């Protein structure tokens, strides 16, 4: 017997078996699995009544709320494709993604609706805006309220959309290494199996209470939305990531599981009031995006929190590897334990991850020979939306190429040593150095600019601009940072600016970024922070 693997089935299971179990907590609002299923059906019918059909795109711009969570079920249930948007982007960047994705309907949280106002005139393909969240919006965007639509919608299960597991479920945009974002196409099968990997490697069970400290827009919340729904766990929506409310939820809601970038771990580990809270035993926190600093791992362990180190990319579903902890490591010296935990680890159950050289041969397990991390399997993307050349390059040789350079240790554990591309990963967000450089070049005082990632205790690494000024022109560090802040998402802008007389270049005039980076990474074994 064959049935397509659809993440929608995860919610249907818990809705049928655990209808009275609390499924979602969003501030003062709670919904059981029975109520969540009804709300999802209602909104699916809303979309169908608006003319949405199989293959259409529906975008959502929202922090972690119940409305955002519901969209991961209601939109795919119609056969449409969900496009989660990064709320940290500016109007021009959001406009590009909404237009490029061909989104017909945009769901937008009240807090972020003003971001779309200035861009609305450019969004020619958008037919309707729907307001989500529990706040009000009094701006000029013509919009209807999600909850009002739900009240008038049919509660009957929507017609079967005739989905195949190879149909697209989501398109997630990632900054990558070029100025324009790339749309990562993930099938229902990829999302389904990634959620299974999530269930296995984060050891998710029915009793788990999951706190959404990771943005749901980020690689579909790493698949946690679907995984927790599959097992009947409770999901708590966290609108803003701040230390105090996180600790309050950990204590008062008896949270057992969360996922976050290492920067959030840094925030939690350094929070002065952490000692005032009594946390339950057995809390697990998955982290990825950069290797967690040893000091942070130590502090979180002191609070009784087990940190599980994961690795992957949006293009891979996203989960690829887990640093599986071996009991025999418990007896090792403290610093050695944390060094081992900071490695990216081994392939997850449903993925095939290797480190290969330029000839696509596996590197030896010597902990020294560097190759590129490549992967294949059913959790990998279908390709980049409307970017065939980029897709072909990514899958050269029949494997997905990550762009991350790593070694394989004798125990088969992978450890990233450098990045093949000039992407900077800061706080779990990809920053294109080319994009930031192009912005700096727009300043009238800038002659040349190069942007590199430098070590940063909070963000893992942060963009630093090396700038050559035009003769007779003046500009200060604060001025250039402010200039970038006004024109691009703040997390992309340089955190620091260094003025130099000239940039090091090859004979053909290409800037030697490695020469700029090297001095900032001296004394470190790896060219990624952690």
Report yes or no on 252 lying in a domain: no
The angle subtended at Cα 390 by Cα 389 and Cα 392, nearest 5°, is 65
Looking at the fold, whether 181 and 210 belong to one and the same domain comes out as yes
Smallest CA-to-CA distance from 419 within 290, 301, 254 is with 290
- Do residues 341 and 223 make contact, with C-beta atoms less than 8 angstroms apart? no
Structure tokens at 405: 């350079």
Smallest CA-to-CA distance from 516 within 437, 416, 428, 429 is with 437
How many angstroms separate the CA atoms of 235 and 488, rounded?
Answer: 32
Smallest CA-to-CA distance from 467 within 427, 431, 510, 436 is with 436
The CATH number of whichever domain residue 487 belongs to comes to 3.30.300.30
- Do residues 77 and 101 make contact, with C-beta atoms less than 8 angstroms apart? no
User: Is the bond leading into 332 cis (omega within 30 degrees of zero)?
Assistant: no
Number of structural domains the chain divides into:
3
Looking at the fold, whether 63 and 171 belong to one and the same domain comes out as yes
Looking at the fold, whether 373 and 487 belong to one and the same domain comes out as no
How many angstroms separate the CA atoms of 125 and 371, rounded?
Answer: 43
Report yes or no on 525 lying in a domain: no
Cα→Cα distances 430→174, 296, 423, 467, Å: 7, 22, 6, 22
The CATH number of whichever domain residue 162 belongs to comes to 3.40.50.12780
Report yes or no on 306 lying in a domain: no
The CATH number of whichever domain residue 360 belongs to comes to 2.30.38.10
**Residue keyed to tokens 């029915």:** 206
Report yes or no on 448 lying in a domain: yes
Query: What is the per-residue pLDDT for 417?
Result: 82
Q: Which of 380, 396, 419 lies at the terminal end of a domain, its last residue? A: 419
Query: What is the per-residue pLDDT for 460?
Result: 84
Domain that holds residue 492: 423-518
What is the sign of the dihedral through the CA atoms of 402, 404, 407 and 413? negative
Q: Residue 391: enclosing H or E segment and its boundaries?
A: helix 388-394
Structure tokens at 249: 């939820």
- Do residues 58 and 103 make contact, with C-beta atoms less than 8 angstroms apart? yes
Looking at the fold, whether 212 and 146 belong to one and the same domain comes out as yes
In three-state secondary structure terms, 306 is strand
- Do residues 466 and 503 make contact, with C-beta atoms less than 8 angstroms apart? yes
How many angstroms separate the CA atoms of 109 and 516, rounded?
Answer: 41
How many angstroms separate the CA atoms of 242 and 288, rounded?
Answer: 18
Query: What is the per-residue pLDDT for 510?
Result: 65
Smallest CA-to-CA distance from 377 within 167, 192, 217, 182 is with 192
State the Cα torsion 333-337-340-341 to the nearest 10°: -170
Looking at the fold, whether 490 and 362 belong to one and the same domain comes out as no
What is the sign of the dihedral through the CA atoms of 464, 470, 471 and 474? negative
Secondary structure E strands in 76-165: 81-85, 103-109, 128-132, 144-145
Looking at the fold, whether 36 and 171 belong to one and the same domain comes out as yes
Report yes or no on 439 lying in a domain: yes
Q: What is the DSSP letter of 505?
A: B
Q: Which of 196, 216, 240 lies at the terminal end of a domain, its last residue? A: 240
Backbone angles phi, psi at 394, to 5 degrees: -65, -30
Looking at the fold, whether 435 and 377 belong to one and the same domain comes out as no
Cα→Cα distances 381→104, 193, 354, 400, 509, Å: 23, 12, 17, 9, 36
- Do residues 308 and 287 make contact, with C-beta atoms less than 8 angstroms apart? yes
Tell me the β-bridge partners of 401.
374
How many angstroms separate the CA atoms of 240 and 213, rounded?
Answer: 8
Looking at the fold, whether 187 and 104 belong to one and the same domain comes out as yes
Looking at the fold, whether 385 and 442 belong to one and the same domain comes out as no
Report yes or no on 253 lying in a domain: no
How many angstroms separate the CA atoms of 48 and 74, rounded?
Answer: 10
Looking at the fold, whether 50 and 150 belong to one and the same domain comes out as yes
Alpha helices, H only, 240-324:
243-252, 262-269, 294-302
Indicate the pairing of strand 209-212 with strand 234-237.
parallel
Report yes or no on 413 lying in a domain: yes
How many angstroms separate the CA atoms of 471 and 228, rounded?
Answer: 59
> What's the pLDDT tens digit per position in 397-432?
999 999 988 999 999 999 988 777 677 888 888 787
Cα→Cα distances 351→65, 166, 193, Å: 30, 17, 9
Looking at the fold, whether 136 and 68 belong to one and the same domain comes out as yes
Q: Which of 368, 393, 419 lies at the terminal end of a domain, its last residue? A: 419
How many angstroms separate the CA atoms of 144 and 142, rounded?
Answer: 7
How many angstroms separate the CA atoms of 130 and 149, rounded?
Answer: 9
Query: What is the per-residue pLDDT for 265?
Result: 87
Report yes or no on 40 lying in a domain: yes
With a threshold of 0.95, does the pTM exceed it?
no
Alpha helices, H only, 101-223:
113-117, 146-152, 188-201
Q: What is the DSSP letter of 33?
A: H
- pLDDT (tens digit, 0 to 9) for every residue of the chain, 530 residues total? 999 999 999 999 999 999 999 999 999 999 999 999 999 999 999 999 999 999 999 999 999 999 999 999 999 999 999 999 999 888 988 999 999 999 999 999 999 999 998 888 899 899 999 999 999 998 889 999 999 999 999 999 999 999 999 999 999 998 644 458 899 999 999 999 999 999 999 999 999 999 999 999 999 999 999 999 999 999 999 999 999 999 999 999 899 999 998 878 888 887 888 889 988 888 999 998 777 777 778 788 888 899 999 999 999 999 999 999 999 999 999 888 888 988 999 999 999 999 999 999 999 999 989 999 999 999 999 999 999 999 999 999 999 999 988 999 999 999 988 777 677 888 888 787 878 887 898 899 998 899 999 998 888 899 999 999 988 999 999 999 999 999 899 999 999 999 999 988 755 456 888 788 888 888 776 666 54
Looking at the fold, whether 410 and 431 belong to one and the same domain comes out as no
- Do residues 417 and 529 make contact, with C-beta atoms less than 8 angstroms apart? no
């Amino acid at each position: 017997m064959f049935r397509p693997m659809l993440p929608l089935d995860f919610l249907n299971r818990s809705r049928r078996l655990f209808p009275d179990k609390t499924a979602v907590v969003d501030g003062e609002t709670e919904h059981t699995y029975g109520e969540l299923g009804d709300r999802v059906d209602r909104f699916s019918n809303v979309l169908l009544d608006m003319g949405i059909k199989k293959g259409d795109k529906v975008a959502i711009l929202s922090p972690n709320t119940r409305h955002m969570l519901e969209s991961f079920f209601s939109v795919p249930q119609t056969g449409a494709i969900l496009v989660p948007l990064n709320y940290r982007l500016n109007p021009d960047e959001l406009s590009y993604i909404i237009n490029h994705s061909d989104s017909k309907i945009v769901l937008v949280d009240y807090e972020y609706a003003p971001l779309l106002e200035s861009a609305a005139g450019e969004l020619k393909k958008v037919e309707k805006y729907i307001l989500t969240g529990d706040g009000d919006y009094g701006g000029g965007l013509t919009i209807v309220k999600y909850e009002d639509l739900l009240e008038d919608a049919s509660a009957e299960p929507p017609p079967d959309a005739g989905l195949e597991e190879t149909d697209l479920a989501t398109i997630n945009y990632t900054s990558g290494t070029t100025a324009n974002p790339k749309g990562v196409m993930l099938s229902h099968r990829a999302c389904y199996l990634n959620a299974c990997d999530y269930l296995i490697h984060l050891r998710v069970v029915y009793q788990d209470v999951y706190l959404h400290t990771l943005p749901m827009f980020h690689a579909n919340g790493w698949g946690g939305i679907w995984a927790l729904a599959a097992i009947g766990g409770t999901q708590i929506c966290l609108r803003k990531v701040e230390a105090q409310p996180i600790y309050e939820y950990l204590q008062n809601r008896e949270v057992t599981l969360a996922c976050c970038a290492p920067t959030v771990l840094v925030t939690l580990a350094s929070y002065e009031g952490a000692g005032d809270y009594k946390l339950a035993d057995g809390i697990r926190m998955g982290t990825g995006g950069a290797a967690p600093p040893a000091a942070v791992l130590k502090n979180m362990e002191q609070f009784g929190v087990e940190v599980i180190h994961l690795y992957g990319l949006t293009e891979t579903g996203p989960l690829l590897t887990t640093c599986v902890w071996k009991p025999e490591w418990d007896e090792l010296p403290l610093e050695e334990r944390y060094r081992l935990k900071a490695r990216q680890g081994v392939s997850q159950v449903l993925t095939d991850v290797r480190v290969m050289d330029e000839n696509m041969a596996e590197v030896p397990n010597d902990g020294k020979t560097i190759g590129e991390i490549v992967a294949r399997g059913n959790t990998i993307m279908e390709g980049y939306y409307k970017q065939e050349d980029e897709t072909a390059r990514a899958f050269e040789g029949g494997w997905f190429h990550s762009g991350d350079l790593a070694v394989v240790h004798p125990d088969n554990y992978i450890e990233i040593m450098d990045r093949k591309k000039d992407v900077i990963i800061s706080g779990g967000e990809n920053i294109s150095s080319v994009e930031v450089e192009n912005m700096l070049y727009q300043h009238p005082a800038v002659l040349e600019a190069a942007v590199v990632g430098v070590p940063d205790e909070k963000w893992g690494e942060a963009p630093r601009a090396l700038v050559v000024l035009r003769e007779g022109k003046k500009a200060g560090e604060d001025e250039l940072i402010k200039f970038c802040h006004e024109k691009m998402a703040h997390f992309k802008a340089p955190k620091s600016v260094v003025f130099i007389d000239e940039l090091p270049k090859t004979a053909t005039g290409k800037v030697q970024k490695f020469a700029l980076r090297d001095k900032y990474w001296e004394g470190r074994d790896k060219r990624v922070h952690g």
